[in-house]
Structure 1
């Protein structure tokens, strides 16, 4: 009588403490990589995990840590953008693209009339001549700062209305000299621009962050 063949032995793999830890490490790595991939897709966060500024950073209502304002002479003297919004300690750079310009605060101790926060010093650049000329200023104190281009090339840039505004933080608009009506000694084009600045700035500052 032929003997029945015994079944193949079943091989059982025993997981030792060392192999168990290795498996756990592999699982942890896989989970970490998956999470990293998910984090890359989070809006407002770069691939290295740092937050990226919103696209409208520097516009009214979205203070930025830094922003660049361009200065042009064609077809007319103009700062762009005319109003910027930064955080306290933020920096604004003015960059000449065409023509000759300067950046001068409206301040009682400098180029009047006074349209700067109380207790701040006058500030401004020298003449900026040539494409690529630049000036930057860091604003440590919260407030609203109006400024002007005082250069005269064929015509006065101030008379032409080349003015701008820097809003720093979230000041009370009722306590800011720059938020008052434009003074009578200002050129008419400047007065019109400042009136528009106030109409745009006040509701944003009153609404707050």
Structure 2
């Protein structure tokens, strides 16, 4: 073996060792944007979840369906222009689509690079929207989302008992998609 080949073999071995160690450490200490045992996707609740609020191509929440443990916090991080994060509740906006007795929230208008967080103490299903209006309401363009807290009974929740057609425009379609996605996972559990 000549020097060049020996050096390459040593480099390859060292790189492989470092990659193996890094892989082990990332599984243990990796940053997923969430904390807790799960990743915040439906069926895998987390203690903290971040939802991006975007403006293009249309106003939307990414991810529009998240799952947190009771006492978990969702942070909405505004990436675009002006948005709101508002619970569906007669005290804040629209019909009640959060659990009975739960406190409704409204962020007020948030400009780009600002965030809003809310801690969910009560188990249940919480629907929310962006109430901002430009040419049309962000809600009617489909800017709606859902937070599932804990492992609630799907029956008797205001979010699942309401007629989705009471929501305007694309919001109705998006909330139906979210509901189907949630039920596909939570009814398997």
TM-score, L = length of structure 1: 0.71
Bigger CA radius of gyration: 1
Aligned pair in 2 of structure 1 residues 206, 74: CA closer, same or farther (>3 Å)?
Answer: same
Q: Note the C-alpha offset of 1:112.
A: 1.6
Give the gaps of 5 or more residues in structure 2. 1-22
Task: Determine the structure 1 residue equivalent to 2:129.
Answer: 148
Pairs aligned (count): 164
Residues 44, 53 of structure 1: 8 Å contact kept:
no
- 1:3-56 deviation per Cα after TM superposition (whole angstroms, max 9, x unaligned): xxxxxxxxxxxxxxxxxxxxxxxxxxxxxxxxxxxxx95995349xxxx856x6
Select which of 28, 39, 58 maps to 1:76.
58
Matches within 5 A, 1:167-206: 167-206=148-187
Residues 171, 205 of structure 1: 8 Å contact kept:
no
TM-score, L = length of structure 2: 0.78
Instruction: Provide the rounded CA distance (Å) in 2 between the counterparts of 1:150 and 1:157.
Output: 6
Residues 79, 162 of structure 1: 8 Å contact kept:
yes
Asked if 1:95 is matched to 2:77, the reply is yes
Residues 172, 205 of structure 1: 8 Å contact kept:
no
Give the gaps of 5 or more residues in structure 1. 1-39
- 1:85-136 deviation per Cα after TM superposition (whole angstroms, max 9, x unaligned): 0100000000111111000000133212111111112112010012x11100
Q: Note the C-alpha offset of 1:155.
A: 2.3
